[in-house]
A = this chain, B = another copy of it.
Amino acid sequence: MPPLKNDVLLRALLREPVPYTPVWLMRQAGRYLPEYRATRERAGSFMALAKSPAFATEVTLQPIERYGLDAAILFSDILTVPDAMGLGLSFVDGEGPRFARPVRDEASVRALRVPPLESLRYVFDAVSQVRRTLDGSVPLIGFCGSPFTLACYMVEGGSSKEFRILKTMMYREPELLEHILAVNAAASVAYLNAQIDAGAQAVMMFDTWGGILADGAYQRFSLAPMRAVLKGLTREAEGRAVPNIVFTKGGGGWLGEIAESGCTAVGVDWTVDLGAARKRIGDQCALQGNLDPHVLFATPRQIEAEVKHTLLRFGDVTEGAGHVFNLGHGISQFTPPESVGVLVDVVRSESPKFHKASA
């Protein structure tokens, strides 16, 4: 693999000194970009796009080319893993994901298996192809869904406002849910490690739905299986550390516990003050976040003010601290692409002053 020219993201995640705050955006390769929509049309469907290494590479690179972000993140979907388990994934336009065979009873739960890596080969091929195409310009982030978030979709059969079927299983048959979570955790370890083998230089675990859980249930059903995944991860590849990021949306109340899970960095959503988060976590982990994605619907001047405010809330990046600028959730498909340009420019021009103490 070609040597890495810009390793600011990796160093920030590892809390090493960097000259400025690196920036990338969750869902940066996506529908808000006209060039993405064009490729998506050529591919024919979301699944065709995600399953083609060539198309996936193309859209992964698009935001890098347009904005000069500090990291690429593989274009894919967290549901590739349950799809490979044979649950029959499809995407209905405007309705989100659907599983033809949701996992709701004892028999279907016990029948779940860690899918053979071969069935996910297209993901690892995409990782390698992106790495080659990036040619060392910026690092590539691989990712997976958290075991609990995957279970939400697997049990419910799709997305949901309240995940009643999932929660009924959780309260009535917790051991059944734990079995699903154990399979998901084992599958996620193999999946992320295969992405690392294929060239991913950092990995992220998206816990989109952990925030719907009661305190106590979160620790048991979301955090514990994430900890199991982290434990199994490859920590070094190509002669350098492979940092990881854990992000529970709505997990502001559990940041301290997440930071003790064994992760390198903690994703933070916009409901949390970044300064308060930093105080709670100390310098145990780097922080990633946390601008409200809807700030990008404001004027350039307002975006500038909000980006500066976020940098200021994290504050001076002193020795042992690390901040990766990001949104607090995936970018909205309705975002004006120019807004992202403003965001990146402001992070680039304003963040160096926060790094004087360490860089």
- Residue from the list B211, B212, B216, B294 in contact with A273, Cβ < 8 A: B216
User: Which of the 9-residue segments A27-35, A36-44, A131-139, A160-168 touches chain B?
Assistant: A160-168
0 or 1 for each of A309-333: is its CB under 8 Å from B? (1 = yes): 1000000000000000000100010
> For chain A residues 152-198, which have a beta carbon within 8 Å of chain B?
162, 164, 167-168, 170-172
**What distance in Å separates the Cβ of A131 from its nearest Cβ neighbour in chain B?**
33
User: Which of the 9-residue segments A9-17, A47-55, A67-75, A297-305 touches chain B?
Assistant: A297-305
Query: Which positions in A face B, CB cutoff 8 Å?
Result: 162, 164, 167-168, 170-172, 211-218, 250, 252-253, 270-273, 276, 292, 294-295, 297-299, 302, 306, 309, 328, 332, 334
Residues of chain B within 8 A (CB-CB) of A270 are 214-215
Q: Are A297 and B168 in contact (CB under 8 A)?
A: yes
Q: Are B250 and A164 in contact (CB under 8 A)?
A: no
* A172-B252 in contact given A213-B271, A215-B271, A218-B271 (Cβ < 8 Å): no
Residues of chain B within 8 A (CB-CB) of A253 are 252-253, 271-272
Residues of chain B within 8 A (CB-CB) of A211 are 271
Residues of chain B within 8 A (CB-CB) of A328 are 214
Closest B residue, CB atoms, query A161: B161
Residues of chain B within 8 A (CB-CB) of A218 are 271
Closest B residue, CB atoms, query A253: B252
- Residue from the list B170, B217, B271, B332 in contact with A250, Cβ < 8 A: B271
- Residue from the list B172, B295, B334 in contact with A298, Cβ < 8 A: B172
- Residue from the list B171, B292, B297, B309 in contact with A297, Cβ < 8 A: B171
- Residue from the list B214, B292, B295 in contact with A292, Cβ < 8 A: B214
- Closest 9 pairs between A and B when the two form their complex, measured CB to CB: A167-B294, A171-B298, A214-B270, A168-B297, A215-B273, A214-B292, A252-B253, A172-B298, A171-B295
